Amino acid sequence: MADEIATAEPPTTTNTETLDKVVIRFAGDSGDGMQVAGSRFTDASALFGNDLATLPSFPAEIRAPAGTLPGVSSFQVQIADFDILTAGDSPDCLVAMNPAALKKNLKDLRQGGTLIVNTDAFDERNLAKAGYEGDPLEDGTLDGFRVIEVPMDDLTKEAVKDTGVSGRSVLRSKNFFALGLLAWLFHRPTQPTIDWANKKFARTPEVAAANVAAFQAGYTFGEATEAAKITFEVKPAALHPGTYTNVNGNTALAWGLIAASKLSGLPLFYGTYPITPASDILHELARHKQFGVRTFQAEDEIAGVGSAIGAAFAGSLAVTGSSGPGIALKSEAISLAFMMELPLIVINVQRGGPSTGLPTKPEQSDLLFSLYGRHGESPIPVLAIASPSDAFELTIEAARIAIKYMTPVLLLSDNQVANGSEPWMLPDVDALAPIEVEFAQHPNGPNGTFLPYMRDIDTFARPWAVPGTAGLEHRIGGLEKEAITGNVSYDPANHQLMTDSRAWKVANIVNDIPDLEVAGDEDAEILVLGWGSTFGSIRAAARRVRLEGGKVATLHLRHLNPMPQNLGEILSRYEKILIPELNTGQLRKVIRAEFLVDAKGLNKVAGEPFKISEITEKIVEMTK
Amino acid sequence: MTAPSYTRADFQTDQEVRWCPGCGDYTILASVQQFLAGLGRPREEFVFVSGIGCAARFPYYMNTFGMHSIHGRAPAIASGIVATRPDLSVWVITGDGDSLSIGGNHLIHALRRNVDMKILLFNNQIYGLTKGQYSPTSEAGKTTKSSPYGSIDYPFNPVSLALGAEATFVARTLDMDRNHTQALLQAAYEHEGSAFIEIYQNCNVFNDKAFIQLTGKEERVHNRIDLEAGKPIVFDEGAKAVVMRDGQATIVDSSTVDPKAILVHDPTRPDPAVAFALSRLSHGPFGPTPLGIFRDVSRPTYEGQMHAQIDAAIEKNGEGDLAKLIASQGTWTVKDPSSNGG
C-alpha cells in the first residue's frame, strides 16, 4: 500500500495547477493534533525541497474546553519554489476540523481559497459551542470558497478498524487523515510521514499502524473521490546549494549553545525554570548529555540565573533562559553578574505582556526592558535573533562576546522565532571559528598577588580566574570594587571610574560588530529599519513594493547594544525612516534619542506577526 | 604531592574585619579558619559564597575563592558551582534573614537535592545590618524597631525546617564554643551532600544575650543538651534525661525513669522523625536545648547523579558530534545547478 502512494507524482484524473507558493493552515481543537499535522506537512515539504516558513498558534491553556473558540489551535505553513521570508498573510487553503476552527479562521482564508471541513464535527452541539446560529455548511457562509466536505470521523474509524486501536484512540488519528488528504491535494511525498509515524510510535505499534492507515486513507480518499477538481504542486525552491534542515528557533538556539560549548572548550551549564515559550530550549539541551551539557531545572527563576552565575564563576559556559516575566525576576542577579564581570548568556524568548499577558503569542515588547531594565548603571550587550535559521549563529556570537568581554549578554528571541521554522543551510561545523578562552593561570600583581580587576588593555575585560587555580584566590561580589585590586571600595572617585570602565568596556564591543549593509534600493527615499523577528515580514514587504515598481531600502539590527558603528551614518542618508515593531515603538524611541532622526513607527501588539500587506501599505503611504 | 601545611593566618586576608566589636561572627571566623588550616587541603579548592547581611561579609575575610552575592541567593549560586565543579569544597555563609526569609526557597531546595555544599547559618534572631528589625527566628512578641508593639510573626525553628526539607545532615552549635564548632565543621566536611549547621550567634548590639541560657556560666549547666551518637541523651550533670513519650521527645528527671528508657542518640536513623522530635525540645532557645548532630544520613548527591548521567550518555552514544546533531532532524541537499546541469 505504502509503495503505491509513496510518490509525489500527480494523479492523472484531475488537473494540476503549478503554484509558486501556497499558504496552508491546519485548524482544529487543541486536542485534534493540528501542530503534529502541520509539522509533518512541513517536514515532508522541506524534504521535497520547498522553501518554507511556519507559524504555529496555540492556546495558553493545555486543554481549553473541547469545541470552543478558545480551544482552537492552528498551524500555518507557507511553501514556495523560491526563498520566502514569512509564513504568509492569508491562507490559500484552510483545514477546519470543527465549527470553532472554522469560525475563528475563515476570516483569514483568501477569497476563492480551498476549505476542507470535517463535516462529522458539525453537529448542533459543536455549532452552538462555536456560536453559530445556523449551519455554515448550508447557509451560504462558505460561498466564494472551494469547499471540500469530508466526513473525517467516519472515514477515520473505518480506516483504523483493523489496526488494534479502540475507544477514544480511534479518532486521535483523524489529523493523519487530514494530512493524507492534503498530501494528495498538494502532491507531497508520503514516505517521510509514514516513516515518521512508524518511528515516533514504535513503542505502540497499533497507534503507528492507525496513523499510517488514516494517512493513507486520506490520500486515497482524495484520489478516489476526486475530492477537488484541481490539485496543486509547488516545485522545489532554487535555494543556495547546500545541505538543509528544517529547524525552529528554540532548537537552533539550543544547538548554538552546544556549538559554543564545543568551540570554547567550556562545559555548558543551563540553569533555568520552565516558562512558555522558552522551555523547549531546556528540553532540547536536557536530551544531549553526551555533549557534557549540565541542565539545572531550578526552584525558581532567580535560582536559575543564580546557579548560572555560580557556574560562570567556576569556569563553565553559563546560560540562563526565560521569557519576560522570568527575566524580571532575574534582573537583580543580572546586575550582579555585570558588577562581578562574569560571562553569562541570558536568553529572553519574548511573549505578549505585561505580566502573564499572552504567553503563547509573539511580541517584541521587552526591548527597552532589555536595554534599561536593571537597577544602577548596568548597560549590557543585547542581541536579537532575526529568524529561526539565525538563532544558531547569533547564539554563538553571544557566547563569544560574553567570554571575550567578561559580561552578561542578553540574547533576545520571541515566540515567532522560537516556534516558527524554516529551512536552514547547515554550516560546516569544522569551519566555525573557535572561541578563545584564557583562564588566568598566574598571579598578575606585585609579590605574587592576584589582581582580579586588572583589565586587559584592549578589551578592558578583567581576568577569569577560576577556583582551583593556586595563587589566584580572590573574592568578588556585589559591592563596588576598587579598580585593579577588586577590594571593596566606597571611594567616590573609584565608583565614578568603575562605572565608566564598565560602560566603556561594553561600548567598546562595537569594534567587533560588523558594519550594517543596506538591503534593496540604496538610493531609495525610505529606509525600513527592523530588529528581531520582523526581519522576514519587512524584507518580504520591501520585495513586494519593488515588484510594484517602488523603491525601498531595508536595514536589520541584530546588535541592539552596542549598535553597529555605521548605523548613524546610514540613517542620515535617508529622508524617511520607518520602524515596524511588534510593540508600541521601543526601538523608535531609542533611535530618535540616540540619532536625532525623525523615525516613524508601524506598531502592532495583537499577538500575531505583521502581515506583509500592513508593512507594504505603510511604505506606500509614506512614499506617495 | 604533600598536603600543604597551613596555619590560621594562611586563611586570613589583608582586609580589615569589620563587624561590631564583640560580635559572635569573629569567633566563628576564627573557628572556620583554624579548622580549614588543620585540613591540609589546598586553599584554592575552597569557595565561600554568601548572600547579604552581617554574616555575608565572611568571604572577604577568607583567603580562598569567594563570592559575596545578593540577598538570599547563595545556595542557588553555590548549586551552580558544585554542579559544575564537584572537585571543589563549597561553603555557604548565611544568616537567619538571608536564608530563612528572602532566600528560604533556595535553602530548602539545595537541602532536598543534596547538593554537596556546607551551609553555615549564623542565627542571631535579629536583622543586624539593617539595624535591628525582627527576623524569621525572632521570638514571638519581640519588641524591635519594626515591631514596637511586639512581633506577631511566629518564628522558624531552623533545625526543624532543615529536617523537613529532607536535609541529609543537620546540626547545631554555638559561636563561642570553638571546639564544638570545629568538631561539627569536620563532620559536615566529611558528609557527602548538603550539610546544614545552625550556629547560634550573639549580636551584642541588637539582640545581646539571646543565647544566655546556653552561654551563661550559671545557666548552661542546666540547659545544654549535648547530642552524642550512641549515647543516652542526659544533661544537667546527669539529673535530666530525654525519653520518647507519645511520639514526642520529653525531658524527665533521670531518677524517675528506667535508664533503658532514655533515648539513645542515633543521627543515622533513616527516618527523620526522632531527629525532628529532638529539634522540638526548644524553640528560642529559652530552656534546655540540644546541640550537636541531629541527622547524618547517606543519599546520592545531586552533582554525583548529574555527572553519572553525563558519563552514561557518553558511554552509550559516544562524545557528542555537532555535525550529526544539527543534521539529526532530517536533511535535504540542494545541488549546484551549474555543476550537474539541473
B322 at A interface, C-beta within 8 A = yes
* Residue A60 dihedral angles phi and psi, to the nearest 5°: -75, -25
B319 at A interface, C-beta within 8 A = yes
Residues of B within 8 A of A333 (CB-CB) are 70, 73
Selected residue of B33, B57, B61, B69 to mutate for chain A interface (largest A Cβ count, 10 A): B69
Best CA proximity match to B63, nearest among B44, B49, B78: B44
pLDDT, averaged across chain B: 95
Chain B closest CA to A500's CA: distance in Å? Answer: 22
Question: What are the pLDDT digits (tens) for A465-521?
Answer: 999 999 999 999 999 999 999 999 999 999 999 999 999 999 999 999 999 999 999
Contact B285, B223 (CB under 8 A): yes
Looking at the predicted structure, is the pLDDT value of residue A10 above 80? no
Contact A323, A358 (CB under 8 A): no
What's the confidence (pLDDT) of residue A64?
Answer: 81
Looking at the predicted structure, is the pLDDT value of residue A270 above 60? yes
Window 40-69 of B: residues touching A by CB (8 A cutoff) are 42-47, 49, 52, 59-60, 62-69
Residue ranges of domains in chain B = 8-225+293-303
Cα distance between residue A448 and residue A89, in whole Å: 66
A447 at B interface, C-beta within 8 A = no
Looking at the predicted structure, is the pLDDT value of residue A12 above 70? no
Chain A closest CA to B194's CA: distance in Å? Answer: 16
Of the pLDDT bands very low, low, confident and very high (cuts 50, 70, 90), residue B340 is very low
Question: What are the pLDDT digits (tens) for B251-290?
Answer: 999 999 999 999 999 999 999 999 999 999 998 788 999 9
What's the confidence (pLDDT) of residue B1?
Answer: 59
Q: Which CATH number fits domain B8-225+293-303: 3.40.50.1820, 3.40.50.300, 3.40.50.410, 3.40.50.970?
A: 3.40.50.970
Query: Strand order of the sheet with strand A146-150?
Result: A51-57, A72-80, A21-29, A93-96, A114-118, A146-150
A478 at B interface, C-beta within 8 A = yes
| Cβ–Cβ below 8 Å for B68 and A475 | yes
Cα distance between residue A320 and residue A348, in whole Å: 9
Of the pLDDT bands very low, low, confident and very high (cuts 50, 70, 90), residue B333 is confident
Question: What are the pLDDT digits (tens) for A549-593?
Answer: 999 999 999 999 999 999 999 999 999 999 999 999 999 999 999
Question: What are the pLDDT digits (tens) for B28-82?
Answer: 999 999 999 999 999 999 999 999 999 999 999 999 999 999 999 999 999 999 9
Residues of B within 8 A of A467 (CB-CB) are 44-47, 65, 81, 85, 88
Helix (H, G, I), strand (E, B) or coil at B296: strand
Question: Using omega within 30 degrees of 0 as the cis cutoff, is the peptide bond preceding A354 cis?
Answer: yes
- Paired sense of beta strands A72-80 and A51-57, if any: antiparallel
Chain A closest CA to B328's CA: distance in Å? Answer: 9
Per-residue DSSP letter, A438: -
Mean pLDDT value across residues A60-74: 87
C-alpha cell at A474: 580572590
A442 at B interface, C-beta within 8 A = no
| CA torsion, ordered A91, A94, A99, A105, to nearest 10 deg | -10
* Residue A613 dihedral angles phi and psi, to the nearest 5°: -65, -30
* Residue found by looking up cell 491553556 in the block: A61
Percent over 70 (pLDDT), chain B = 98
What's the confidence (pLDDT) of residue A228?
Answer: 80
What's the confidence (pLDDT) of residue A5?
Answer: 36
Mean pLDDT value across residues B167-192: 98
Of the pLDDT bands very low, low, confident and very high (cuts 50, 70, 90), residue A63 is confident
| Cβ–Cβ below 8 Å for B335 and A241 | yes
- DSSP string over A314-369: TTSEEEEEE-HHHHHHHHHHHHHHHHHT--EEEEEEE-B-STT-BTTS---TTHHH
Cα distance between residue B43 and residue B12, in whole Å: 11
Of the pLDDT bands very low, low, confident and very high (cuts 50, 70, 90), residue A3 is very low
Residues of B within 8 A of A242 (CB-CB) are 333-334
| Cβ–Cβ below 8 Å for A269 and B327 | no
Chain A closest CA to B236's CA: distance in Å? Answer: 43
Looking at the predicted structure, is the pLDDT value of residue A25 above 70? yes
Window 66-105 of B: residues touching A by CB (8 A cutoff) are 66-70, 73, 76-85, 87-88, 105
Which position has the higher pLDDT, A624 or A395? A395
Chain B closest CA to A468's CA: distance in Å? Answer: 5
Mean pLDDT value across residues A342-366: 96
Question: What are the pLDDT digits (tens) for A79-100?
Answer: 999 989 999 999 999 999 999 9
Least CB–CB distance from B44: residue in A245, A310, A467 = A467
Amino acid at B218: E
ipTM reported for the complex, 2 dp = 0.97
**What sign has the CA pseudo-torsion A233, A237, A242, A245?**
negative
Window 109-148 of B: residues touching A by CB (8 A cutoff) are 109
Contact B201, B222 (CB under 8 A): no
Catalogue all structural domains in chain A, each as residue range(s) with its CATH number: 2-234 (3.40.920.10), 245-431 (3.40.50.970), 519-623 (3.40.50.920)
Least CB–CB distance from A290: residue in B63, B319, B326 = B319
What's the confidence (pLDDT) of residue B338?
Answer: 57
Question: What are the pLDDT digits (tens) for B212-251?
Answer: 999 999 999 999 999 999 999 999 999 999 999 999 999 9
What's the confidence (pLDDT) of residue A314?
Answer: 98
